[in-house]
Amino acid sequence: MPIQIRKLDSSQDGFQQSLDTLLAFEAGTDAAIEASVANILADVKTRGDAAVLEYTNRFDRIPHGGAAEMAAFDISQAELQAALNGLPSAQREALQIAAQRIRAFHERQREELRGFTYTEPDGTVLGQKITPLDRVGIYVPGGKAAYPSSVLMNAIPAHVAGVAEIIMVVPTPDGVKNQMVLAAAAIAGVTRVITIGGAQAVGALAYGTQTIAAVDKIVGPGNAYVAAAKRRVFGIVGIDMIAGPSEILVLCDGTTDPDWVAMDLFSQAEHDELAQAILLCPDADYIAQVEESIAKLLPTMPRQATISTSLQDRGALIKVRSMEEACEIANAIAAEHLEISADNPQQWAERIRHAGAMFLGRFSSESLGDYCCGPNHVLPTSRTARFSSPLGVYDFQKRSSIIHVSEAGAQTLGRVAATLAYGEGLQAHARSAELRLKPQP
């Protein structure tokens, strides 16, 4: 049966409502998962290593009756290096090139944010100091969703920021280790790799145990248990965004090979049945050509079942009035990945206010950015690009304000502060400022 993708037209009645329905996605919360995660976290907080050991042996089906002590879950730097050396040379070189490019881009981010101080005429100094976090945890999923590219994208920004300790956790169900993931850890600047996962790993990182030091922030994707655990420990440690399904929005002026656009839509749809791939184009004939390309190419894809479900359930081919209108709709969608596959793409990019990452021109396929262009592939999903940013070096840094008031400054500022403090009924605030005033002559 041929694939049926939703087709919309922005000039038709009810378009806005159809678009809203298409975009609507709310991550459900599962009470059973929540309860289970709450128990595991409380147990890890109380019993530490003993709890982590038990849960890991059980949930990850560690062979030979399970590990007897936590040390069994540590992977040495030598083993990481051996994993890198053992890869086929094409894979090893690809990982190294990707890591080098990701590092180069993120070093630009670090250079941008240097802090500042300035001195006022009365000698008062004000400023902002930038410091890295001391210690962070990187969660890396195990099993079939183990992605070495995620290791690079999460660990390298922390390393570039100057984080002294980067602790990576990665579960190894049935004791099976992914060599590419270990190799990625070897080149990303990871300090320590521990083969634990799930809510127990999140708890260990957040609270610390006898053998694992508590971290300041936990980043990285995970399943529903990991996401629920991260939400619960937020505040005790920092966390990154809880990612929703991945999305691509392609704006095309009808001048790109339709096979390319079809494959770009597939590249998002193959991630997940809930992934969302949408095309906006002012040219109805071109949309028909993309449809033909989809029908032609889909049978050649190993993950065609996932792609079909994703495209049929959540995809859309949308005819718009103009590229200008496409840009407006793109701002409302605020997509994670936005491809502007068009001649002179810069003219349209200037109109875009909200997107996680913009891929300009027909050679900038999203997949290049996923692996090796340099910018991060951890991006805001589910319209959160309206208010949040790609993962970056700045996520592993924080600012402290610097206030050094001179004696002269305290005279003028003290009167202002005291007036406002009395106005708010905070007399100790006012007195604290007034004590610094010199007696009037």
Residues with active-site annotation = 336-337
Q: What is the contact mask toward its own copies in residues 239 to 258, using x (rule: CB under 8 A)?
A: ---x--------------x-
Q: Is 17 in the site for its own copies (CB under 8 A)?
A: no
Whole-Å CA distances, 177 to 171, 180, 433: 8, 9, 61
Query: Could you give the CA distance from residue 147 to residue 142 in angstroms, rounded to a whole number?
Result: 8
From 34-42, 186-194, 198-206, 378-386, give the range in contact with its own copies by CB under 8 A.
Answer: 378-386
Among candidates 220, 169, 199, which has minimal Cα distance to 44? 199
The answer to whether 424 is annotated as binding is yes
Tokens of 65: 């009756």
Selected from 91, 191, 211, 309, the binder of its own copies by CB under 8 A is: 91
Among candidates 14, 12, 10, 19, which has minimal Cα distance to 323? 10
Residue 172 backbone phi and psi in degrees, to 5: -125, 80
* Residue 386: CB minimum distance to its own copies, A: 4
Between 76 and 344, CB nearer to its own copies: 344
Half-sphere exposure of 107 (CA within 13 A, CB side): 6
Give 238: exposed, middle or buried? Use CB within 10 Å, 0-12, 13-18, 19+.
middle
Say which DSSP state 234 is in. Answer: B
Which positions from 56 through 85 interact with its own copies, judged by CB under 8 A?
none
The answer to whether 354 is annotated as binding is no
The answer to whether 106 is annotated as binding is no
Q: Is 427 in the site for its own copies (CB under 8 A)?
A: yes
Q: Is 30 in the site for its own copies (CB under 8 A)?
A: no
* Residue 357: CB minimum distance to its own copies, A: 4
Whole-Å CA distances, 209 to 51, 191, 394, 418: 10, 17, 28, 47
Mapped onto helix, strand or coil, the DSSP state of residue 35 is: helix
Q: Is 273 in the site for its own copies (CB under 8 A)?
A: no
* Residue 385: CB minimum distance to its own copies, A: 7
Strands 125-132 and 397-404: antiparallel
The answer to whether 223 is annotated as binding is yes
The answer to whether 312 is annotated as binding is no
What kind and span of H or E run contains 320?
none
Selected from 260, 317, 318, 319, the binder of its own copies by CB under 8 A is: 260
Q: What is the contact mask toward its own copies in residues 162 to 201, using x (rule: CB under 8 A)?
A: ------------------x---------------------
The answer to whether 370 is annotated as binding is yes
Among candidates 396, 395, 392, which has minimal Cα distance to 132? 396
Mapped onto helix, strand or coil, the DSSP state of residue 165 is: strand
Q: Is 121 in the site for its own copies (CB under 8 A)?
A: no
* Residue 113: CB minimum distance to its own copies, A: 7
Which positions from 317 through 346 interact with its own copies, judged by CB under 8 A?
345-346
Q: Is 207 in the site for its own copies (CB under 8 A)?
A: no
Between 57 and 312, CB nearer to its own copies: 312
> Which residue ranges make up the annotated binding site?
139, 200, 223, 246, 268, 271, 337, 370, 424, 429
